[in-house]
Every structure is written in C-alpha cells, then in structure tokens.
A and B are shown apart, each in its own frame.
Chain A
Amino acid sequence: MRSGHFKESIPGLIMLSDSVPVWVWSGLLLVALALAPYAMNAYALSFLILILITGTGALGLHVLTGCTGLISLGHVGFLLLGAYAYAVPVAKFGLPPLLGFFFAGAVPALAGLVVGLPSLRLKGLYLAITTLAFAFIISHLIIEMSWLTDGTRGITVPRPRLLGLDFDSDARFANLCLLVAVLTLFAVLNLGRSRVGRALIAVRDNDIAARAMGINLEAYKLKAFLTSAFVTGIAGALFGIYLSFVSIEGFPFLMSIEALAILIVGGLGSALGTVLGTVFIVLLPEASRIAFGLLGSQAERLFSLGAHEIRSVLYGVVIILFLRFEPRGLLGLWHDVRRLWVNWPLRY
C-alpha cells in the first residue's frame, strides 16, 4: 500500500515494522494495558488477565501448529504439566517462585521432546491422535503420582513474590501476565524473522522441499515442540496461579479445542492473528451471555445453567463457520477492511 517505498537492506526487509505510527500506537496500547488494571473493576480485570494468559498459551500452540504445521490436540497436557511443575516445588516444597517458573517451562519442554519423537515419523491425523493420547496419559499420571501431586485433591497455589515485588493483587498480577505475554509475542514475532522460524515455515509448507534445501527436519520439529511446550507450560503456571488452585478439573480437555479455535479464528500461521483470535474467543462466551440476556431472564437462566456446554457449542460452531466461510480468519477480515479503508471508493 505504501508505494514508492523500497527496502535496500536485509535488516530493513525483515524489520518487525517499518512504520512509525505502528510502533507509536503499539507503545501507547502497551502503556494503556499496563495502567488499565488499576482503573478497571474486578470483573473486567478478570477478562484482561484471562486474555493475557490464554494469549500466551495460544502463542505456544501457534509455534507448533501455525508455524510448523504439526497438529496438537494435547496442549492441555502441557498446560497441566506447567501448572504442576510450578505448584509442586513452590507450594509443596517452598522453593522460590522464579525457580518454579523455570520448572514450569522446563518440565513441559522435556515432555514436548518425548511427544515430539513420534512426530518425526508421523504426520497430520496420526500426530493428532498421538497428542490426544498424550493429554490423557498426562492427566492419569498426575492422578497416579499422588505422593507428589496430591492426586485428585489438587494443590493450593499462593500468588508469587518475584525479585522483591509482590504480585498479590489482581492488578499487579495482570501486569506480570502482561509482561509474560508481551515477551512471548516479541519472541514469537522475532522467531518468524530468524533462520529457525523460516525453517519451521518451510517444514510446514513442504517438508520434502525443506529437507532438499538442507533443513534438518528432525531437529527443527523437535525444536518446535520444545519451544511450544515451554511457552505453553509458562501459560499453564500463570493460569494455575490465577485460579490459585491447581487440579485436573481446572484444565479440561476443552482447553485444547479452545486453543485450536483461537488459531483458526485468528488466522492460522500468524502471531497477530493469534492475538486477535484470543480476544475474540475469550470474550465470545461473555458476548453471547449478554446476547442471551437481551432475550429475557428465561434465556439467561438457561445460559447460566449450561455455561460450560454452551461455551463448547460456541467454540465448535465458530470453528466450523470460520473454516467454511473465512479460512483466513479474523486477520483476513482485517486485511480486507484495511484495503477498503485505503482504497475507497476505488476497488483496488
């Protein structure tokens, strides 16, 4: 769109954005998000925190499914592992939370390596089934190892105190989540600019061609699993802290579906799309609750009775509708709107 705008160097070509307004607005949005928790009511704040945590987890899945093209139905397993890897050392053995966060990333990353091994031989459907099996095995293992994890009783997790800063209030905790989410977003965006990220995209687009170009498929697939599991594990730890209680029930299988729905709704293969999808999917149940409220108190009562089920149905319907009618996702819609804005009244 910005015509007559030529890039003369590689760094200029792969910059995250060469537009000053984009950087300024992103900075302003960041400041606003950092200050907003202190001005919001508790209800709105809970949605902000959920969006930040879900976004982090979805970016984790984005590295694997969006960038590398490996379907995972087992990301809830990584979330669970991350939450327990944080909760067990910190809440049971009293280790410092920073170390807990390290474990929350490292333990799922190791598990990611194990799950990644079959992916060296399997594609598509078979990998989806393997990761599905992994999610079930993980939750059964956690119940089995009750000497470590307290089994079905769950573990109560306190809010952390990191580097002398207390994150006990929701607003402070939102800032912590914002920090993690922004760091993750930056890492994922920069991954796309790097040699590794381009290799992952090559693996997604055509693995045989990628291999012919000299990309080590085994190493890059395992790297994708490792990174993805690490990020997802951190998100799981944050979610556990936010719930202040870690148990199997807190991480239903629906979360795997939710993460995939985010990627599809946002637009597969784009970090920005993942962010848009997260906002959409997290706010969808609330938006539909308000819509049901307009239909009258009878409908609202029905909604509150079957909240979990209606959420599931919404996710399912949204996935089918987007795949059917707008496979490019919200990002594609956004591009259309932008083009219309720039070119109107001409068509192009």
Chain B
Amino acid sequence: MQYLVDQIVSGIAVGAIYGLIAMGLALIYKSTGLANFAQGEMAMLIAYIAWTLAGLMPGHPWLVVGGALVASVVLGLAIERLIMRPMLGEPVFATVMVTIALAVILRAGAMLIWDPYPHALDIGIGRGVVMLGATGLREAQLAAILTLMAALAGFWAFFRYSRIGKAMRAVAADSRAAQLMGISAARIHAIAWTASAVIAGLAGIFFALLYDVSPNLYHVGLKSFPATILGGLDSVLGSGFGGVLIGVAENLAGGYLASSIKEIAGFIVIIAVLMIRPFGLFGERDIERV
C-alpha cells in the first residue's frame, strides 16, 4: 500500500512538470492555432541558463531563478517576433515544420554551447525532504505541485476576469472578429508565447532540481504532448490536469509493469485518446472529420 502511495505521489510531482509544459503548449495552441514542438526545448534551454547562472552566482537562489525567468521572457518574445510572426497565415504544415526545426536547432545548439553531459543544478534550495504522513517528498517536488496549482488557479482567473485573458479567448474563438473589435492579435500571440516560455522555464528548472540538467530534458516536452492531448489541446486547465494523470499513469506502469513501459506509456495513451476522444477530456473544439 505504501508503495502504491509513493508511486502515485511521485507521479503527481513529475506530472506537475508535464502539466506545466502542457499548459504552455495548450496556451500557444489556443491563441495561435499551432502546436509548438519546441516547448520541451524551451524548458531545456532555460534550465541550462539557470545552471550557468547558478555557476556565476553561487548562494543566490532567487537571483538565479529570477534571471532564468527574465531569460525565458526574452526567449518567448524573440521566438514569436523573429520566427513565428513572419509565418502568420501560412498553412499548418509550414508552421508546424518551423517549430520542429526550431526544436532541432535549440536541442543541438544547447549541446554545442554547453556539453552533452548531465549536470546537477544545485542552487541550495529544494533539496530538503518534507514528510506528508509516511510519504517523503522533496521540497522541489512539492514546489512543482504547488506551482502547477497556482498556475491552474492563475490561468482560470486570468481567462475569466482579466482584460487580456478575455482578449486571448476572443482571438482563439475567431481571430478576425477579435481584430475587428480592436484587439491586436499579434500582441496576444506575443503574450501567449511569453507566458508559455515562462511556465516552460519554471518546469525546466523544477525538472533540473529534481533530476539533472542534460540535453535529454527535451524528452519532458515530448511527454507533455500526451498530457495536452489527454486534457484537450485547446484547454489550458485541462492540459494541466492531463499532465498529472499522465505522470501518475507513467509511474504506475513503471512501478507495476516494466520500466521500459514507463517510457512509452504516455505515447500509448496518446494513440488511445486520439482514437476514442480526439479532442481530449476537457477540450471543446470538435476535430473536423472527413
């Protein structure tokens, strides 16, 4: 029984990271209508930047995190302005290929700039163990779960009450009508890319704290695809929940079946979900079937 609880709890913790990245994916899909295949690579890049900052400023954990978040804002804005905005209005194939190309460039670029070996991100926090009943939980795991919950609540309120959130929903529903109402779609896109870069960066830092910084961090991005497909590609909050479900499913598959099933559990879920309910658990938009 304790084993089951341990598996589920650590599944929720890693699922929170998938969920954060998946929320970024859904945010970009919702506002711009394209899937960003470079989401995991963005998380990887921010984790590397945090690692470099941690080497430069030992003993200032909050400076490191703050610097990394500033870097992620810059990254999100730069990608949107330099690469994605010129592709506005191009067919889906072209924009998807651009994000895939971006993913390949970021992945290889990180290996060229830094090195292909794993490093521990040690900023002096997040290493302690918190006991919840009989289950031990590392501080970084707890922080990831709390961040996901804060992000879920924050996005719920953002979409419901804030002016920009409502504008974002309007652009997602019908970008031309939204533009006629005086909303700048380009600015909404820029905000979506920035916000998703920031939450991807947070997820990258949490992952690096829990495991290590290595180029394989982009796998987290690949695993967040199942999360967002499960939750609904156009549902930001659903994607967050989807991440937790995928994390738990993966850990249970790894704990009770075989460790190699763990790696592909998410992908099997993708195929099952797409066959049965292609718009996900919380997604609204029905996919056009022909």
Contacts and interface: CB of A to CB of B under 8 A. Distances in A.
Interface of A: 69, 71, 73, 117-118, 121-126, 128-130, 132-134, 136-137, 140, 143-144, 207-208, 211, 217, 254, 257, 260-261, 264, 268, 306, 308-313, 315-317, 319-320, 323-324, 327
Interface of B: 34-35, 83, 86-87, 90, 92-94, 96-98, 100-105, 107-109, 111-112, 222, 225-226, 229, 233, 260, 263-264, 267-268, 270-271, 274-275, 278, 287-290
Contacts of A143: 260
Nearest to A324: B86
Given A129-B35, A309-B111, A136 B264 contact: yes
Contacts of A312: 104-105, 107-108
Contacts of A136: 222, 263-264, 267
Nearest to B29: A125
A48 B229 CA distance: 42
A75 to B, nearest CB: 13
Given A121-B278, A121-B287, A143-B260, 7 more contacts: A73-B100, A124-B92, A133-B225, A136-B263, A306-B108, A319-B100, A327-B90
A133 B270 contact: yes
Contacts, number: 127
B90 A323 contact: yes
A319 B92 CA distance: 15
A144 B261 CA distance: 9
A126 B87 contact: no
A264 B264 contact: no
Contact of A260 (B87, B92, B97, B267): B97
A122 B278 contact: yes
7 contacts: A129-B229, A130-B270, A140-B260, A313-B105, A319-B100, A320-B98, A323-B98
B106 to A, nearest CB: 8
Contacts of B271: 118, 130, 133-134
A92 to B, nearest CB: 22
Contact of A207 (B98, B225, B274, B290): B290
Given A118-B274, A257-B104, A323-B87, A123 B98 contact: no
A132 to B, nearest CB: 7
A217 B289 CA distance: 11
B83 A320 contact: yes
Given A129-B35, A140-B264, A306-B111, A122 B104 contact: no
Contacts of A327: 90, 94
A211 B264 CA distance: 35
A320 B100 CA distance: 9
A254 B104 contact: yes
B97 A122 contact: no
A257 B100 contact: yes
Contacts of A132: 222, 225
Contacts of A124: 92-93, 96
A279 to B, nearest CB: 20
A309 B86 CA distance: 26
A124 B34 CA distance: 10
Given A118-B275, A137-B264, A312-B105, A323 B270 contact: no
A126 B101 contact: no
A125 B104 contact: no
Contacts of A264: 97
Contacts of B268: 133, 137
A217 B290 contact: yes
Contacts of B267: 133-134, 136-137
Nearest to A317: B105
A188 B34 CA distance: 31
B29 to A, nearest CB: 8
A278 B229 CA distance: 34
Contacts of B35: 125, 128-129
Contact of A313 (B108, B222, B229, B278): B108
